[in-house]
Amino acid sequence: MDYLINLILLLGGFFFLVKGADLFVDGSSSVAKIFKIPSVIIGLTIVSIGTSLPEAAVSITSSLQGSYDLSIANVIGSNLFNLLVVVGASALICPFVVDRMIMKRDFPICIGLTILLAIMLLDNTLSRLEAGVLFILFIAYIVLLVVSALKDRHDTESEDKPMPIGKSLLFILVGGIGIVLGGTFTVDSAKFFAREFGMSEMLIGLTVVALGTSLPELVTSIVAAKKGESEIALGNVVGSCIFNIMFILGMSGLVHPLFCGSEALIDTAILIGVNILMYIACVTNKKASRPEGAVCVVLYLIYVAYTILRAFGF
């Protein structure tokens, strides 16, 4: 009976996380439009951060509850899932050309941040000072995006009318509550299954929780691919990976220093390798093809198999 209850809590947690983030983004975007904030800025800030809110809710809740391995594993696992599965699935559905600006600016930043994270985790700890550095880098990156967007903006403002202020605030409130509840349900049920099946919180975070919290990116990219706009996938993924490291680990580490085992450093090293391989493939081919998408998905399955075997001592 406990298994069924916790499975329902886990699935319910994922639902609250995704739906809560969706409502929060809609409400926040509407308020921003009411105050005449340019739509391009809304997209670069509110919407980009919004897709990372499920990961943020889980990692911050884990930090508050002392599940530091789960907090770090969620970010590393989500980034691996984003790069290999989200991009891979999008390429399988509809091959796409790589955006030049992403390769010139955002992808190198993503690689650099992952290397910085590995250096910070060499002592198996992400201190408050290191988390503060990540959060300051997050603020600087947001400023860079906003300045760049205002400088190079060519699109017209959205013609979508904002919701009434009362409805917008209600969406923000309900969305926020959904995110908090979803984070709590997900963390509690994940810890239960980890205990019951003799699995580490690191393994649960790298696989099940990472997949669940990455649903917004996966759904967004697959829908875009079906509409023939799969080039959005890479930008969505790289931006999310950057936010995950700077915003989520920054916030989680400021709440409480995060401690981890040697596995976290190994997984971060794997993440660095995946980042570099993806970057080289994109720069070399200028596009993501179906065969490359298939390779990405297979690599993720191999990684999951490796983490499971490692967790059980094989």
Q: What is the pLDDT of residues 166-179, one digit of tens each?
A: 898 898 889 888 88
* 229 confidence band (pLDDT: 50, 70, 90): low
- Mean local confidence (pLDDT), 230-245: 80
Does this model's pTM top 0.75?
yes
Question: CA-to-CA distance for 179 and 171, rounded, in angstroms?
Answer: 12
Residue owning tokens 């999951």: 304
* 222 confidence band (pLDDT: 50, 70, 90): confident
* 153 confidence band (pLDDT: 50, 70, 90): low
pLDDT score of 143 more than 60 = yes
Predicted pLDDT of residue 40: 52
Residues 6 or more apart whose CB falls under 8 angstroms from that of 201 comprise 67, 69, 70, 73, 190, 191, 194
Residue 223 vs residue 134, higher pLDDT: 134
Instruction: List, in order of start, the domains of the chain with CATH numbers.
Output: 2-311 (1.20.1420.30)
Q: What is the pLDDT of residues 72-84, one digit of tens each?
A: 988 999 999 999 9
Helix (H) or strand (E) holding 99: none
Name the packing angle between helices 107-120 and 232-243 (round to 10°). Answer: 30
The neighbour count for residue 165, using CB atoms within 10 Å, is: 13
Helices assigned H by DSSP within 121-214: 128-152, 165-196, 201-204, 210-213
End-to-end CA distance of the chain: 31
Nearest to 71 by CA among 52, 55, 53: 55
Predicted pLDDT of residue 231: 61
Q: What is the pLDDT of residues 173-207, one digit of tens each?
A: 898 888 878 878 887 888 788 778 777 777 888 88
**Percentage of the chain lying above the pLDDT 70 cut:** 89
* 109 confidence band (pLDDT: 50, 70, 90): very high
